[in-house]
Amino acid sequence: MLKATKNIEELSPEQAQEIVTAQRAFFKSGQTLPYRFRRQQLKVLKKAIEAHEEAILEALFLDFRKPHFEGYATEIGVVLAELDYISKNLESWMKPRVVSASLLNFPSSDRIYYDPYGVSLIVAPWNFPFQLMMNPLIGAIAAGNCAVIKASELAPHTSALVAEIIGECFDPAFVRLVQGGISTSQALLEQRWSHIFFTGSVRVGIIVATAAARYLTPVILELGGKSPCVVDETADIKLAARRIVWGKYINAGQTCVAPDYILAHRDIKDELVENMVQVIQDFYGENPQQSPDFPRIIDGKHFERVSSFLGDGEIACGGKTDAEDLYIAPTILDKVRWEDRVMQEEIFGPVLPVLTFDTLDEVIHEITERPKPLSMYYFSRRSQRQDRFLEETTAGGMCINDVVTHYANPKLPFGGVGTSGQGAYHGKHSFLAFSHQKSVSKKGNWLDVPLRYPPYKGKLEWVKRAFKFGG
């Protein structure tokens, strides 16, 4: 097993500039443009991931105590599915797309071409350190870019292993992984990139967006926020409890799409809480600290932050902590108020507050008064209510009668809106995220309609007719 590298030397701005210069030269050589090159690089990456599967699972365990099932289901499996889907469809996506021509521009042939941005910076987070490095990288390669990955220093075993995999697979002038802390991130953000892809907190996302704005660099931000989970009185309570508990406590709640809080109808709130308490026991036993299936908090700083929420509301279950073990029990907080601190920021840990409501109007009002969340979940048996909820609220993505699972479908775009992010990826949307869509109109020479040229006298009615029939 590869050990985490200790005392990693921070990158200087000069070293960062050398990396960007080398990658820019590689990109300008044109090697990344052909389909065969991109397809081969994806094939090499897949083979390496499969060869290192056990080592990846062990690295995730060392960083999080993440069980191998979760490591495969939420990291390796997701990445391999993304690789297969993109590899299968890449050739057709790369082809210029023909669109109908404008009547005013007749005769012409109009197409959309997909150009790689060039040299992309991918800044990865710590919570799903393998998947959230690899999936953006797959999109960057598929679109024909070079890429530099900034790995999270908070998941050192996974970062070190991925550095080894990247080094085995790619010329560093094409794809390179950089380790380090804040100084390295700052050195990288000082550079002029063709494109930046960031996953992380809103606070750091603002820093990244500010750095990108200095050069007007295209940027995608995958952030987070407080994702609501609404359960009305018509829901299948036992099923809702099982699905919510599963989605909330994956990775010990350190998941950007986890249900952040529950809005339960007053008539079924107690029943829902009782069922969730039972499900937690069914999943993790009487003492979840002894369960092989419950991960740990990433570090002491995050442990202290999440633990501080335990004073709000009333603890319906859990509440136990062990700082030395970085353990916070799967916890449900009942009788929480909107003004409580636990409702003021994304929890990103195994603490689940429960609030109540009386009407759907109240739910819609409370949700729409707040920043748009990354994800939103609604449990109900009434299709009319489901439709209204979908129409009158918005989020990066939603599930009806489930949580989290929308993330796993590569055919669905994944991304936030407003403070939960900007831009989307996964599947074809990953290819598009790292591509500039170039519009090209190729005009024929055999006819030159004089309508557009001065003098304009007597031509206005003809122009109006042309626009009426499709421009």
Instruction: Write out the catalytic residue numbers.
Output: 222, 256
CA distance 363 to 83: 39
CA distance 89 to 45: 17
Structure tokens at 148: 């530099």
Count of Cβ atoms closer than 10 Å to residue 345 Cβ: 15
According to DSSP, residue 74 is labeled: I
CA distance 443 to 184: 49
> What SS3 state is found at 349?
coil
Torsion angle (degrees, nearest 10) of CA 191, 197, 199, 203 = 50
CA distance 396 to 400: 14
CA distance 289 to 72: 21
Residue the block writes with tokens 């897949």: 46
Structure tokens at 337: 């108020």
Contact 41, 170 (CB under 8 A): yes
Taken in order 207, 172, 57, 322, the sign of the CA dihedral is: negative
CA distance 431 to 94: 9
List alpha helices for 95-175, DSSP H.
131-142, 156-169
